[in-house]
Amino acid sequence: MLKTVKTKFFILASISSLILLSGCGEFKDIDKMVFVSMIGIDESGNPDKPYKIILKLYVPTSSFKQNPAPEYTYLIKEGLTMDETISLLESHIDKELDFGHSKLIVVGEKMLQNKKNKVILDFLIRRPDIQMISYFAVGRPNAEEIVKFAPAGETALQPTIFNYFDNSGAETSYIVTSFVFDFRRRMKEDGISPILPIVEMDESKTHFIINKSIVLEEDKPPYELDSEKTLLVKLLSNEAKSIFYEVKREDELFVTRLDTIKPHYTVDIKDNHKVSIKVDIKLAGIITESKNSLRNKELPRYSKLLDEEMKEKVTSIINELKREGYDPIGFGLSLNSHTLPKNRMNDKEWLSAFQNADVEVKVDSSLKSTGSIQ
């Protein structure tokens, strides 16, 4: 008897306390939310309100067939701080802003030059509803134009720009993908520099062009890499899946398609306290285009030509990065990872060591075919 009274009391108490709880998140129907597609952050030029926030909002359509054209609305506001600006923007719309589906954060080029990236990152990290798996990119000439731009061929609900980054659409090796969490890691970590893709539009304003990247380093201006350098950096950081590479040597001019790319590098400190970077790249692929006629017998010679070409290019990009003091590949991190904490160099020591490092590149490629059927 006592037991049943106890259970009843327990049920009553738990139900009444459950009603008081708000649960996780508020009940809000999906049609009362508006989803943010992209966030653009620009510099306004106004010293009182330095930030300009551009939000691209999805307009939901009930049927894709009825409404295949892309439709977006934009919220733009300048403000002193980013969070305040966004909270003001929330009063511009009748629904709740939901950042859960915003996949891309575009930062204007000027913002980076003015070293605002730390402030931006701080804002992005602190806001819980901004996903850390969003892509992070640099907009050229500014974020607003990139965010507002809908390229030809875009359909409703599917912003084409995401396809550039997620490997489900474009699979080119010229595009660097940077997530917010990865960007933050590279910012915080010693020995690796953040690298961001640059998003541009072509002259006729029909498509995006994403094949350049920008490397950031504390206390230094951002360093831009053109498309070829971007490719090589991707290749070295083992992110390139397949690349087309042109070889122009000894009267031969051919293009190779390299499917197997295995870069390997070791960073060591030698006896004379000098850092040595050894890069060993294994390549395999076929020749896809050639000016002269090629012969299968001579494949080893072509491979050798590719080795030389690649070695020269890779050495020069590493030397360039080293000279300028940017490290998007993470040589410093690699060294730190197998050095005891007490032996690690501090930032300045590493920078000078890196700039004086010996670079040794070895390329071992094997071309399997001349691509033609004989």
Whole-angstrom distance, CA of residue 22 vs CA of residue 127:
21
Q: 179 vs 244, which CB is nearer to other proteins?
A: 179
Binding status of residue 1 toward other proteins by CB under 8 A: no
Options 5, 30, 340, 373; binder of other proteins; rule CB under 8 A: 30
In sequence order, the 6+-apart residues with CB closer than 8 A to the CB of 6 are none
Residue 216 and residue 178 in contact, taking contact as beta carbons nearer than 8 Å: no
Binding status of residue 58 toward other proteins by CB under 8 A: yes
Binding status of residue 319 toward other proteins by CB under 8 A: no
Binding status of residue 128 toward other proteins by CB under 8 A: no
Q: What are the distances in angstroms from CA 95 to CA 70, 88, 101? A: 20, 13, 15
Tell me the closest approach of the beta carbon of residue 315 to other proteins, in angstroms: 43
Residue 329 and residue 237 in contact, taking contact as beta carbons nearer than 8 Å: yes
Tell me the closest approach of the beta carbon of residue 251 to other proteins, in angstroms: 52
Render 104-143 in DSSP notation, one character per residue. EEEEEHHHHHTT-HHHHHHHHHH-TTS-TTSEEEEESS-H
Binding status of residue 189 toward other proteins by CB under 8 A: no
Binding status of residue 33 toward other proteins by CB under 8 A: yes
DSSP state of 170: -
The single residue listed with the structure tokens 């396809």 is: 163
- What is the contact mask toward other proteins in residues 149 to 168, using x (rule: CB under 8 A)? --------xx----------
Tell me the closest approach of the beta carbon of residue 97 to other proteins, in angstroms: 12
Binding status of residue 73 toward other proteins by CB under 8 A: no
Contact segment (CB under 8 A) with other proteins among 24-32, 136-144, 174-182, 312-320 equals 24-32
What is the DSSP pairing of strand 51-58 with strand 33-43? Answer: antiparallel
Q: Where on the chain is the footprint of other proteins (CB under 8 A)?
A: 18, 23-31, 33, 35, 37, 58, 60-64, 98, 100-101, 103, 131, 157-158
